[in-house]
Amino acid sequence: MAESKEQKRVFGLDAVRAIAVCSVIIAHSSEFLLRLKPYPVWGKWITDAVYAVQPLGYTGVEMFFALSGFLIGGIIIRDIDSGTHLQPGWLMHFWQRRWLRTLPAYWVVLTLTAVLYYALRLQGLEAYKLLYYPFWQNLYTPHPPYFFGEAWSLSVEEWFYLSFPAVLWWAARRWNHVNPHTIIMRIVGFYGLLFLLIRVVYATHPYCQEQDAGIRKIVVFRLDALVYGVAMAYAHHYYATWLSYKRYILLAIGMAGIVFAYYLLLHPEIACTAPLGTPARCCGDVGLFVLMPLSFALCLPFCYGLPVPEWRWLYRSVTGMARIAYSLYLVHYSFLFIPFFYRLELLHPVLTLPCYALYWYITVALAKMLYRLIELPFMNRRR
């Protein structure tokens, strides 16, 4: 069984997953290095570097969205080819597999974080935290700002896993005379246009909130984030030869979009924090959240074709990080960094780098423990 699972791994997609989670962790934790500011020369270099990597939090999450859409889209398309998507129990079976993969580890870390904050007297056991369990905390309102902030992206993914297959199952049974391959692309187009239009209406509304909390982290504005990956999975499945031939062109277009998006995030005054109602702000509120997941999705065919490296240590490092990526995402910030490292007072700034290395070591160790004790046993139940 282990060998079979290993054969199913795609090194290029593992590399995307590992880069995405490391990007998020760096963005969330690198401010710890600002304790080195007192040093005259390289303290300034580190400070500039810390501010330069902050957009990695944005790009890392969008990378996850594109990859998740690609993987889920591949599963759905294979089910369509086999005809199982028309069976009465397909939808519930699909949801059960997703829930066994994502919910147990999430609920464990969520509960432990709430109890930890209460024990450390950082927060109370407020009732609103119950909304996190069914992912209601940011369904149509801004995500609560001071507790488990990274859960916003998990809500977007879970609601996509819930809604997209349900729409597909209903449409396939409602229009059983239509080719199911046509139906899935119509749904992709429907999602893309619908939530783009919702963002357009909201961005031009005079009471539109700030971009990060008011648009980026609200589920009803971001449910199209995964459909670009689904569209790429469709192309990969049915037009693999053409996609393999064009993968370098798609990579160049995708990388250009990523660089442009990163530039906008480094200079938020251009489109992210520009005055409300200005054309630049409207384009940022609407277009930035198409540009990022679409650009990453365009890079996936190239990544899929990456060969396994000859260096065994590189392969093991990448696949090891990719395997525990979900657990890393869950434990790295609210559970570990905020309560134990964010306000940590050091006896001397020279201890900054050793303490930061210790943070990474503990993060990886906790993620491995969560993966082995919670994630893996529940994933094995799916077979």
- Per-residue pLDDT of 75-92, as tens digits, reads 999 888 887 776 778 899
3-state secondary structure 78-94: HHHHHCHHHCCCHHHHH
Please report, to the nearest 10 degrees, the dihedral formed by the alpha carbons of residues 133, 138, 141, 147 taken in order: 80
DSSP codes, 59-118: HHHHHHHHHHHHHHHHHHHHHHHHTGGGSTTHHHHHHHHHHHHHHHHHHHHHHHHHHHHH
User: Both tokens of residue 280?
Assistant: 């630049």
Is the per-residue pLDDT at 256 higher than 80? yes
| Average pLDDT, rounded, for the chain | 90
Q: Which pLDDT score, from 0 to 100, does residue 289 have? A: 92
C-alpha 168/C-alpha 177 separation (Å) is 14
**pLDDT over threshold 60, residue 1:** no
Report, in angstroms and rounded to the nearest whole number, the Rg of the chain calculated over CA atoms.
Answer: 21
pTM to 2 decimals? 0.92
Query: Which residues have a Cβ under 8 Å from the Cβ of 28 and sit 6 or more positions away?
Result: 57, 150, 332, 333, 337
pLDDT for 214 beyond 90: no
Average pLDDT rounded to a whole number, residues 282-292: 87
Domain boundaries in the chain?
1-54+307-383, 87-301
User: Other CB atoms closer than 10 Å to residue 5's CB: what's the count?
Assistant: 10
Tens digit of each residue's pLDDT (9 = 90 or more) over 146-159: 899 999 999 999 99
Residue 24 makes CB contacts below 8 A (sequence gap 6+) with: 56, 57, 60, 61, 150, 329, 332
Each residue's pLDDT tens digit, 307-362: 999 999 999 999 999 999 999 999 999 999 999 999 888 888 889 999 999 999 99
Residue 5 has a pLDDT of 46
* Residue 275, Cβ density class (10 Å: 0-12 exposed, 13-18 middle, ≥19 buried): exposed
8 A C-beta contact, residue 228 and residue 297: yes
Residue 4 binned pLDDT confidence (cut-offs 50, 70, 90): very low
Nearest CA to 75 out of 49, 95, 55, 48 is that of 95
User: For residue 69, what are the CA distances in angstroms to 175, 292, 333, 357?
Assistant: 24, 13, 24, 33
Task: Give the pLDDT confidence of 19-73 residue by residue, as tens digits.
Answer: 999 999 999 999 999 988 888 778 888 888 999 999 999 999 999 999 999 999 9
- Closest by Cα among 66, 90, 65 to 76: 90
CA dihedral 186, 192, 197, 199 (to 10 degrees): 160
Q: Is 128 helix (H, G, I), strand (E, B) or coil?
A: helix
